[in-house]
Structure 1
Amino acid sequence: MIYMGTPRLRLRDWMETDLEPFRRLNADVEVMRYFPSVLSSEGTDVFYEAILSEFQECGYGFYAVEVKESNEFIGFIGFHRATFPSDFTPCIEIGWRLKKEAWGKGYATEGARACLKYGFSDLGFQDVYSFTAEVNQPSQNVMIKIGMSFVKRFNHPRVMDQSPLKPHVLYQINRQAAGGE
């Protein structure tokens, strides 16, 4: 099923053929530089199954993204139910991860805007959050471009204390700010 499209992208259900390029994506040191570690093939398989389960449980999740022109899988953009212990969870998170060959083309912004529109209009979301390591300026730039506002800094409870990735930033957008009713 295709959930939404943009001028250049399709955001769709996952297919078995996405699994191998998804493994390569999650094993790429550059792609994963703002995460505690790369994912092994087994770790990616667990993540893949969790994504599929979230779609079944919630009716949304991280959508597989492909470029319309080539039908090439480039990563994911979409929603996740964040439940780690924090004063803003549980919440709906918007996130993205694209292969490095897709960087710098505006795909994350384009896809995330479509997701927000879909989330507010079709899924009935009232608020959507995004967070990342404070050092991850590229993702923060996408958050700003899609209309999100900075909320605060926090230490992610699932990142080791000594890690430079522990300090995180939180952004938020609500239905009204996104142009919803």
Structure 2
Amino acid sequence: MTAPTLATARLTLRPWQPSDREGLWRMQSDPRTMEFLMPVADRAASDAVADRAEAHFARHGFGLWVVEAPGVTDFAGYCGLVHVPYAEHFTPAEEIGWRFDPAFWGRGYATEAARAALDFGFATLGLEEIVAITVPTNFRSRAVMERLGMARDEGGDFDLPSTPPGHPLRRQVLYRLRRS
């Protein structure tokens, strides 16, 4: 299935194109982008992120869109919805997530793109709830979650199974938003 395109006042959330892989690698090789995420080892691993995003759209009709700011950049980052791929106390669930090139931080793009993805999830997909996760010290992402109206599930903290035991990024906080 082809990914739909979403539009906001300043942004276009669109399907992946081969040319996006360069911007993705540039973003994911920046330590500021990856401060609260497991590192991406090399260009092949970065390309695999785009492959998984495209495959998720093909399977489910939604996923992580490339975020373009027309007249500013063809690749500001990505944002969207994915099925949570592991078993945890809140799964099965759909998670909203984003990753932006630091050159485009501080412009409200994450919040604007995430609102479009949430609207798609609730209005088009008919989801009842969407979750978001991050490490406790990622205050920028937590602020976006709160601007979106998401509430922290105080009893919902958990250890991310894909992160090694003892790693400082293993513990995650859980935010939830129900369709209103």
TM-score range, shorter chain: over 0.9
Instruction: After TM superposition, list the pairs within 5 Å mapping 1:110-129 onto structure 2.
Output: 110-129=112-131
Where 2:27 maps in the other structure, the secondary structure is helix
**Gap regions ≥5 residues in structure 2:** none
Post-superposition offset of 1:58 = 0.3
Instruction: After TM superposition, list the pairs within 5 Å mapping 1:63-74 onto structure 2.
Output: 63-74=65-76
Amino acid corresponding to residue 179 of structure 2 in structure 1? R
What is the TM-score of this pair, normalised by structure 1? 0.92
Post-superposition offset of 1:75 = 0.7
Post-superposition offset of 1:36 = 2.2
Contact 2:132 2:145 in 1 (8 A): yes
1:91 counterpart residue number: 93
**Gap regions ≥5 residues in structure 1:** 177-181
1:34 counterpart residue number: 36
Where 1:16 maps in the other structure, the secondary structure is coil
2:17 to 11, 15, 18: 15
Structure ranking higher in strand proportion: 1
Instruction: After TM superposition, list the pairs within 5 Å mapping 1:24-173 onto structure 2.
Output: 24-151=26-153, 152-173=156-177
State percent identity of aligned pairs: 34
Post-superposition offset of 1:154 = 1.5
What is the TM-score of this pair, normalised by structure 2? 0.93
Amino acid corresponding to residue 148 of structure 1 in structure 2? M
Count of matched residue pairs: 176
Counterpart CA distance in 2 for 1:158 and 1:105 is 31
Counterpart CA distance in 1 for 2:93 and 2:46 is 23
